[in-house]
């Protein structure tokens, strides 16, 4: 079950902020679930070709690879937000959100997939955010600081409304994306 594997991943990455996010997500038996209609986007099969995992992330990556065809993949952006390359080469599916599959309104848990070398340009949002790199690696830039590289098993933290961007390495990247104190909203695109 992806929800429990995600909680386990947050425990296993051995990071204080990840532990804090873990504690904001209830145990599975305290939550309800619904079946979401599967929806596949063309890039979804790239989960089978992702970059290196870490010991803390390999279980959830295997589960994503086994279940990707039954997930409700989505592309929340429009083609002209960040361009067609971004639009066609990024995708997400929810694990816990207001509409399921685990029903939860005080936070968001989803999986993000980026194709190789794709940049997710500057944006911001009001919920606080945690990324756990599950497979592959990214260049990450936040708050106009110097870009740094993050690998599978590593954590990226964004305080509310901090501007951030990432660029995928040369293999597809899987990221566990968490928001707390807010369910899904469209991020604000920034040019900063
Ligand atoms: Fe974000």
Q: What is the mean pLDDT of residues 53-71?
A: 98
Q: How far apart are CA 179 and CA 183, in angstroms?
A: 7
| 161 C-alpha to ligand 1 centroid (Å) | 9
Q: What is the mean pLDDT of residues 14-33?
A: 97
Q: What is the mean pLDDT of residues 55-78?
A: 97
| 80 C-alpha to ligand 1 centroid (Å) | 18
Of 41, 72, 62, 54, nearest to 14 (Cα)? 54
| 168 C-alpha to ligand 1 centroid (Å) | 14
Please give the pLDDT value at position 183: 66
- Ordered by start, the domain boundaries in the chain are 2-189
**Which helix H or strand E contains 120, and what residues bound it?**
strand 119-124
Give the CATH architecture of domain 2-189: Sandwich (2.60)
> pLDDT tens, 83-119?
999 999 999 999 999 999 999 999 999 999 999 999 9
What's the first-to-final CA gap in the chain, in angstroms?
A: 39
Q: How far apart are CA 58 and CA 167, in angstroms?
A: 22
| 164 C-alpha to ligand 1 centroid (Å) | 7
Please give the pLDDT value at position 137: 98
| 155 C-alpha to ligand 1 centroid (Å) | 13
């Amino acid at each position: 079950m992806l929800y429990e594997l995600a909680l386990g991943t947050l425990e296993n990455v051995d990071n204080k902020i990840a532990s804090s996010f873990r504690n904001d997500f209830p145990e599975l038996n305290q939550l309800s679930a619904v079946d979401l209609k599967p929806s596949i986007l063309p890039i979804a099969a790239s989960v089978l070709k992702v970059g290196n995992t870490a010991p803390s992330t390999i279980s959830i990556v295997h589960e994503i690879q086994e279940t990707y065809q039954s997930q409700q993949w989505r592309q929340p952006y429009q083609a002209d937000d960040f361009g067609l390359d971004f639009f066609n080469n990024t995708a997400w599916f929810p694990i816990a959100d207001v509409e399921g599959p685990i029903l939860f309104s005080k936070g968001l848990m989803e999986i993000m997939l980026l194709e190789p070398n794709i940049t997710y340009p500057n944006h911001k949002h009001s919920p606080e955010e945690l990324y756990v790199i599950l497979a592959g690696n990214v260049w990450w830039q936040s708050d106009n600081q110097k870009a740094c590289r993050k690998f599978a098993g590593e954590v990226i933290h964004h305080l509310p409304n901090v501007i951030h961007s990432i660029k995928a390495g040369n293999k597809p990247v899987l990221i566990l994306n968490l928001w707390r104190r807010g369910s899904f909203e469209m991020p604000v695109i920034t040019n900063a």
